[in-house]
C-alpha cells in the first residue's frame, strides 16, 4: 500500500509492521494526512489477514522489496514478535537489499508520521531513521513540566527574527517540514524558540525537535542563526512564515484553542482574558396597537427621532472627525424621507408608532441587505442600528442598553454609538467577527484602551456565552477556550504589560531620546480641550494635531472668532507652554456641515474637502485664521492646512492669513505648515518648501490616496497598509528633501504602530503625533532605538516588495530595536 503520491518526493521506503492490519492502515492514513499529496513509498505488512492479529516475516520481506527503490527502507514495528519477524525478514532479503534496511525502534505511530514527512522532504535513510527515533521528543517535552532549553546559537553573536504562526493548525509536520527543508540547505546554525510558551530553542533542521515547540496558530516564534549564511537563513524563514510555510488554507477545519476564522486582526493593543459575552440586540417589544389617535403617535415618533438625533450627534462630537462620517450617515437616515415617510404612512393607517417604525426599518433593511455590493450590503447594519435606537427611545429605554455585558464582548460588528459607550471596567476585551482596524468602532475602542481584535470570522458568533476567551489585541490573536497553561501565560504577560505601562507612564514627561542621542518629539492628536488635558497629563510634548472640525460640527451656525479663540487658548493653557498645532477646518462631502450645504459627490474623498472647501468660503476661513492669530499671541501656535494639493493653495491661504491678522502683522511666533496627505505634495515637495515652516504627514489619507483604498473600508483593511513601500517612499522623499529646511512630523495613526516607529525614525522623522493614550508607549519605544540602525532598516524597507515584507524586516530586527 502507498500513501497518496504526486510527482517527486523521497526515494526512501517505509514498511509498517504491526499485529493489526487495521491499526497499520489507520496509521498510514494518518501519515498521508501530513503529506498533503507528496509521494512516499509506504508498504504495510500487518496481521495474518484482515482481522487476524499476527506478523509474518515473508510478508515483511515482500513489503521491503516492494518499496525499496535503491535508497533504502526504514521499517517501523509495533511490539513483541513484530521485531522477531522483521529480523527474520532481513535474513530472507538479498544482501544488497538487506544493507539498505534500517529496523527502527521508533514508536509506530509517531515514528511513521515523522519518517513520512522527512522522507517526503528528500532525506536519506539515516536521517529518516534518526528523525523517527526522536519522534517521542515532542510528547516528552510537552508532558515535561519544566522543559530544559537547549543551549544554541541564540546564546550570542547571532541574528534573530520573530514570526507569528499563521497556519491554522500551527507549526505541524507539513509546515515544519518546509522550515526544516529551507534551513538545511544553508551554511548556518539555525534554532527556533516558541516565545509564547517558552519552549526551545531547538535546532530548526530537525523536524522532530521543531515539533517539540508545540507552536500553535498565533504563537510567536523566534528564529536565531549564526554562521556564514545566517542573514539569509533568518530572512528565508521569515519569508516562509509570511507565506504560511506554503500551506494552502483549509477553511473547513478549526483547530482547538484558536479562533474559528482565517485569523483575527489586531485592532486595539493589550491582552484581555474573560468569558465570551455576546452582544445581542435585546429585542424591544413592539406593541402594534396605537396608544392614542394618529396625531399622538406621530408626535411620539417625532419625539423619539429627535431624541435619537441628539444622542447620535453627541456621540459624534465625542469622537474625532475620522469617525464622524458614520454618525453623519446615521443622522441622514433619521431624516430619510423614505424611511420616516413610510413610518408616518403606517401610523396614519392605524398602526402604533413603534409598529409602523419597525416595519419601515425592516423594509429598508431588507432592500439594502439584497444589494449586490458587499460593502453597501453591510450598510444594512446601519439601518438596523438606527432603527433599534429609535425603537428604544419609543419604549423609553436608555439608548445604549445593549452594551450591558461583562467579559469579552463578542459581536458581529459594533456601531460607533455602542463602541463609544463601552465601559472598560466591565468590557475587558472586544472580539468582532467583522470590522476592520481602521473602522470607526475600532478607533473608539482603541481610545478607550480596551484590547480588541476584529475580522475574526463568522465562526466566532457560534462560540457559546461564557466560553473562556483570550484576546491579544497587540498580536491579533484570539484563543477560544485555551488550555489552562496558555491562559496562565497570558495572565503573566498581561501583568508584565501593566507593569511596563506604569513604568512608561512614569517616564513619559521626559524627552524621548534614542540610545544614540536623537530627540523625537511625541505630541498628541486631540479634538477638544478635554483631550488636550489628557494629552498634557500623558506627557505629550505638545499637540501635533488639533482637529478643529469638532468645534464646527453639530451646530446650526459656524463658531464665531471669539468662540474659536477661547477654545484654542484653552488648549494652549492645557499644554502649558508646549506647542499646539491648530489644523484649519477639515470637512467635506464625507462630513457635511448643517449650515454649509454641499452638492452630492460621487467620490467625496476625492472631492471638495479640507482646504479646497475652506477656499470656497474665504469668509469662514478668514474668521478661523483671525482666531488662530489671536490665540498665537498667547502661546506657541503652529497653523496647519489639510488636504493641500498644489502650491497655489498655500499662497492663497497665506494671503488670507495676512489679511486676517490685520490690523497687526501675522504674529511672530506663528509657524505655518501643510499636511502631506496627497501624494502630489510629497512628490513635489521642493515647490512647497519655500512657503512652509513645517510639514505634517497625514498617513491616514496619504495611504488611502497612494493605494487607492478608501480608509475604513472593511474589505480593504489589509491593502491599505501605511507600511507599504510606496507610502514609505513618499515619507522618505518628504523627510529627505525637507531636512534642514522645514520640520517634518507624522500625525496619522501609523505613528503609534510599534512596527512603524523604527522605520519612521530611520527615514528621518523626528516628530510624531499620536493619540494621548499612546504617548507614553511611543516615548518608551523611542528610547530603545538607535537611529543609525533605524536608518539601515528603513533602507531595507524602502527596497521591500510590499507591506508584508516591510513588517517581516522590522520583526527580523533585534528585539531591543534596531
DSSP state of 384: H
Based on CB atoms, which residue is closest to Mg ion, 565 or 677?
Answer: 677
Residue whose C-alpha is closest to residue 765's, from 521, 408, 512: 521
Helices 647-661 & 618-632, crossing angle to 10 degrees? 60
Report the C-alpha gap between 582 and 701 in whole angstroms.
18
DSSP state of 339: H
Smallest separation (angstroms) from ligand PEP to the CB of 749: 7
Smallest separation (angstroms) from ligand PEP to the CB of 722: 9
Based on CB atoms, which residue is closest to Mg ion, 189 or 701?
Answer: 701
The values of phi and psi at residue 479, to 5°, are: -105, 125
Residue whose C-alpha is closest to residue 347's, from 308, 307, 289: 289
Report the C-alpha gap between 247 and 250 in whole angstroms.
9
Residues 162-221 that bind Mg ion (CB under 5 A): none
The number of angstroms, rounded, from the C-alpha of 511 to the middle of its chain's C-alpha atoms is 29
Q: Is 521 in the site for ligand PEP (CB under 6 A)?
A: no
Per the CB < 8 A criterion, the answer to whether 57 and 89 are in contact is yes
Cell numbers found for residue 573:
493653557
Q: Which listed residue (34, 60, 75, 322) binds ligand PEP by CB under 6 A?
A: 322
Task: Find cell 509521494 and name the residue.
Answer: 39
Q: How large is the greatest C-alpha to C-alpha distance in the chain, in angstroms?
A: 111
Based on CB atoms, which residue is closest to ligand PEP, 110 or 677?
Answer: 677
Binding partner of residue 527 among ligand PEP, Mg ion, none, CB cut-off 5 to 8 Å per kind? none
From residue 513, alpha-carbon distances to 559, 774, 782, 791, 813 in Å are: 40, 17, 6, 16, 19
Q: Which listed residue (110, 400, 701, 721) binds Mg ion by CB under 5 A?
A: 701
Q: Is 548 in the site for ligand PEP (CB under 6 A)?
A: no
Report the C-alpha gap between 708 and 713 in whole angstroms.
11
Q: Strands, DSSP E only, in 527-627? A: 543-547, 580-583
Smallest separation (angstroms) from ligand PEP to the CB of 677: 5
Smallest separation (angstroms) from ligand PEP to the CB of 604: 13
Point out the catalytic residue in the list 158, 217, 219, 747: 747
Based on CB atoms, which residue is closest to Mg ion, 174 or 547?
Answer: 547
Q: Is 700 in the site for ligand PEP (CB under 6 A)?
A: yes
Smallest separation (angstroms) from Mg ion to the CB of 778: 19
Based on CB atoms, which residue is closest to Mg ion, 273 or 697?
Answer: 697
Output the CA angle 572-577-580, nearest 5 degrees.
45
Q: Which listed residue (114, 173, 747, 761) binds ligand PEP by CB under 6 A?
A: 747
Q: Is 712 in the site for Mg ion (CB under 5 A)?
A: no
Q: Candidates 41-49, 335-343, 666-674, 694-702: pick the segment binding ligand PEP (CB under 6 A).
A: 694-702
Pairing mode, strands 519-526 and 202-203 = unpaired
Residues 575-634 that bind ligand PEP (CB under 6 A): 586
SS (H, E, C) 271-327: EEEEEEEECCCCCCCCCCCCCCCHHHHHHHHHHHHHHHHHHHHHHHHHCCHHHHHHH
- Before 201, cis peptide (omega within 30)? yes
Q: Which listed residue (10, 206, 699, 787) binds ligand PEP by CB under 6 A?
A: 699
246, burial (CB in 10 Å: exposed 0-12, middle 13-18, buried 19+): exposed
Q: Which listed residue (354, 698, 712, 817) binds Mg ion by CB under 5 A?
A: 698
Cell numbers found for residue 698:
497625514
Task: Find cell 423614505 and name the residue.
Answer: 338
Per the CB < 8 A criterion, the answer to whether 10 and 119 are in contact is yes
Binding partner of residue 134 among ligand PEP, Mg ion, none, CB cut-off 5 to 8 Å per kind? none
Based on CB atoms, which residue is closest to ligand PEP, 264 or 679?
Answer: 679
| Site track for ligand PEP across 761-790, x = CB under 6 A | ------------------------------
Q: Which listed residue (189, 677, 767, 786) binds ligand PEP by CB under 6 A?
A: 677
Q: Candidates 5-13, 244-252, 573-581, 693-701: pick the segment binding ligand PEP (CB under 6 A).
A: 693-701
Smallest separation (angstroms) from Mg ion to the CB of 548: 13
Q: Is 440 a catalytic residue?
A: yes
Task: Find cell 504491526 and name the residue.
Answer: 18
H-type helices in 585-724, by residue range?
611-614, 618-632, 647-661, 679-683, 685-688, 699-706
Residue whose C-alpha is closest to residue 45's, from 33, 28, 70, 31: 28
Based on CB atoms, which residue is closest to ligand PEP, 319 or 699?
Answer: 699
Q: Is 547 in the site for ligand PEP (CB under 6 A)?
A: yes
Based on CB atoms, which residue is closest to ligand PEP, 173 or 611?
Answer: 611
Site size toward Mg ion, by CB under 5 A: 3
Point out the catalytic residue in the list 19, 219, 330, 440: 440
Q: Is 748 in the site for ligand PEP (CB under 6 A)?
A: yes
Q: Which listed residue (297, 413, 590, 701) binds ligand PEP by CB under 6 A?
A: 701
Based on CB atoms, which residue is closest to ligand PEP, 68 or 701?
Answer: 701
Q: Which listed residue (181, 203, 205, 321) binds ligand PEP by CB under 6 A?
A: 321
Binding partner of residue 748 among ligand PEP, Mg ion, none, CB cut-off 5 to 8 Å per kind? ligand PEP
From residue 354, alpha-carbon distances to 300, 305, 388 in Å are: 9, 11, 10
Q: Is 747 a catalytic residue?
A: yes
Catalytically active residues, by annotation:
440, 747
Positions that interact with ligand PEP (CB under 6 A): 321-322, 545, 547, 586, 677, 698-701, 747-748
Residue numbers at the binding site for Mg ion (CB under 5 A): 677, 698, 701
Amino acid at each position: 500500500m502507498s500513501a497518496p503520491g504526486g510527482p517527486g518526493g523521497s526515494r526512501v521506503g517505509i514498511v509498517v509492521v504491526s499485529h493489526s492490519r487495521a491499526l497499520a492502515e489507520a496509521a498510514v492514513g494518518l501519515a498521508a494526512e501530513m503529506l498533503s499529496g507528496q509521494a512516499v513509498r509506504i508498504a504495510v505488512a500487518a496481521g495474518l489477514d484482515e482481522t487476524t492479529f499476527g506478523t509474518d516475516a515473508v510478508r515483511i520481506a515482500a513489503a521491503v522489496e516492494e518499496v525499496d527503490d535503491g535508497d533504502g527502507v526504514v521499517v517501523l514495528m509495533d511490539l513483541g514478535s513484530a521485531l522477531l519477524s522483521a529480523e527474520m525478514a532481513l535474513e530472507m532479503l538479498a544482501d544488497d537489499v538487506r544493507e539498505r534496511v534500517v529496523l527502527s525502534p521508533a514508536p509506530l505511530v509517531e515514528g511513521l508520521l515523522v519518517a513520512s514527512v522527512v522522507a517526503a522532504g528528500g532525506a536519506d535513510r539515516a536521517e529518516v531513521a534518526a528523525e523517527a527515533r526522536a519522534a517521542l521528543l515532542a510528547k516528552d517535552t510537552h508532558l515535561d513540566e519544566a522543559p530544559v532549553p537547549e543551549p544554541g546559537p541564540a546564546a550570542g553573536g547571532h541574528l534573530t527574527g520573530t514570526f507569528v504562526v499563521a497556519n491554522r493548525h500551527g507549526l505541524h509536520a507539513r509546515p515544519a517540514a518546509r522550515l526544516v527543508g529551507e534551513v538545511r540547505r544553508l551554511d548556518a546554525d539555525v534554532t527556533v524558540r516558541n516565545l509564547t510558551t517558552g519552549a526551545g530553542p531547538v535546532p530548526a533542521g530537525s523536524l522532530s525537535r521543531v515539533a517539540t515547540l508545540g507552536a500553535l496558530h498565533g504563537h510567536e516564534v523566534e528564529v536565531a542563526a549564526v554562521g556564514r549564511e545566517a542573514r539569509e537563513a533568518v530572512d528565508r524563514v521569515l519569508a516562509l512564515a509570511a507565506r504560511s510555510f506554503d500551506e494552502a488554507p483549509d477553511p473547513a477545519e478549526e483547530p482547538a484553542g484558536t479562533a474559528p476564522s482565517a485569523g483575527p486582526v489586531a485592532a486595539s493593543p493589550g491582552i484581555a482574558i474573560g468569558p465570551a459575552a455576546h452582544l445581542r440586540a435585546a429585542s424591544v417589544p413592539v406593541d402594534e396597537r396605537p396608544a392614542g389617535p394618529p396625531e399622538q403617535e406621530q408626535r411620539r415618533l417625532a419625539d423619539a427621532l429627535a431624541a435619537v438625533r441628539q444622542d447620535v450627534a453627541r456621540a459624534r462630537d465625542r469622537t474625532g472627525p475620522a469617525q464622524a462620517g458614520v454618525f453623519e450617515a446615521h443622522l441622514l437616515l433619521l431624516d430619510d424621507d423614505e424611511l420616516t415617510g413610510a413610518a408616518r404612512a403606517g401610523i396614519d393607517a392605524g398602526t402604533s408608532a413603534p409598529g409602523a417604525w419597525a416595519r419601515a426599518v425592516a423594509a429598508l433593511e431588507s432592500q439594502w441587505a439584497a444589494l449586490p455590493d458587499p460593502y453597501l450590503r453591510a450598510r444594512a447594519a446601519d439601518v438596523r442600528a438606527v432603527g433599534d435606537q429609535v425603537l428604544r427611545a419609543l419604549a423609553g429605554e436608555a439608548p445604549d442598553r445593549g452594551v450591558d455585558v461583562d467579559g469579552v464582548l463578542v459581536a458581529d460588528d459594533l456601531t460607533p454609538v455602542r463602541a463609544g459607550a463601552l465601559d472598560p471596567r466591565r468590557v475587558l476585551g472586544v472580539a468582532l467577527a467583522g470590522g476592520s482596524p481602521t473602522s470607526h468602532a475600532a478607533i473608539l475602542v482603541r481610545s478607550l484602551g480596551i484590547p480588541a481584535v476584529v475580522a475574526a470570522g463568522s465562526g466566532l458568533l457560534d462560540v457559546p456565552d461564557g466560553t473562556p476567551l483570550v484576546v491579544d489585541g497587540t498580536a491579533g490573536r484570539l484563543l477560544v477556550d485555551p488550555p489552562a497553561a496558555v491562559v496562565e501565560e497570558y495572565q503573566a504577560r498581561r501583568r508584565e504589560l501593566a507593569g511596563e505601562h506604569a513604568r512608561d507612564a512614569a517616564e513619559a514627561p521626559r524627552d524621548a531620546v534614542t540610545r544614540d542621542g536623537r530627540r523625537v518629539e511625541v505630541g498628541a492628536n486631540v479634538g477638544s480641550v478635554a483631550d488636550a488635558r489628557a494629552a498634557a497629563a500623558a506627557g505629550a510634548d505638545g499637540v501635533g494635531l488639533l482637529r478643529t472640525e469638532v468645534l464646527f460640527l453639530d451646530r446650526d451656525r459656524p463658531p464665531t472668532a471669539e468662540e474659536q479663540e477661547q477654545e484654542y487658548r484653552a488648549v494652549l493653557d492645557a499644554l502649558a507652554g508646549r506647542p499646539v498645532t491648530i489644523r484649519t477646518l477639515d470637512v467635506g462631502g464625507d462630513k457635511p456641515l448643517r449650515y454649509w450645504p454641499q452638492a452630492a459627490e460621487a467620490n467625496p474623498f476625492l472631492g471638495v474637502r479640507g482646504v479646497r472647501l475652506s477656499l470656497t468660503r474665504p469668509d469662514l476661513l478668514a474668521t478661523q485664521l483671525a482666531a488662530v492669530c489671536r490665540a498665537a499671541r498667547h502661546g506657541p501656535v503652529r497653523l496647519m492646512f489639510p488636504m493641500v494639493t498644489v502650491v497655489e493653495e498655500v499662497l492663497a491661504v497665506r494671503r488670507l492669513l495676512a489679511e486676517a491678522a490685520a490690523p497687526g502683522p501675522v504674529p511672530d511666533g506663528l509657524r505655518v505648515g501643510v499636511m502631506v496627505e496627497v501624494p502630489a505634495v510629497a512628490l513635489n515637495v521642493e515647490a512647497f518648501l519655500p512657503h512652509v515652516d513645517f510639514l505634517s504627514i497625514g498617513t491616514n489619507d496619504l495611504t488611502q490616496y497612494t493605494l487607492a483604498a478608501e480608509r475604513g473600508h472593511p474589505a480593504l483593511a489589509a491593502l491599505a497598509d501605511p507600511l507599504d513601500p510606496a507610502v514609505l517612499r513618499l515619507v522618505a522623499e518628504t523627510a529627505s528633501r525637507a531636512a534642514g529646511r522645514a520640520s517634518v512630523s507624522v500625525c496619522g495613526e501609523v505613528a503609534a504602530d510599534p512596527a512603524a516607529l523604527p522605520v519612521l525614525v530611520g527615514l528621518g522623522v523626528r516628530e510624531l503625533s499620536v493619540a494621548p493614550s499612546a504617548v507614553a508607549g511611543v516615548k518608551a519605544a523611542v528610547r530603545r532605538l538607535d537611529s543609525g540602525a533605524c536608518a539601515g532598516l528603513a533602507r531595507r524597507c524602502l527596497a521591500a516588495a510590499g507591506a508584508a515584507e516591510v513588517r517581516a524586516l522590522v520583526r527580523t530586527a533585534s528585539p531591543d530595536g534596531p
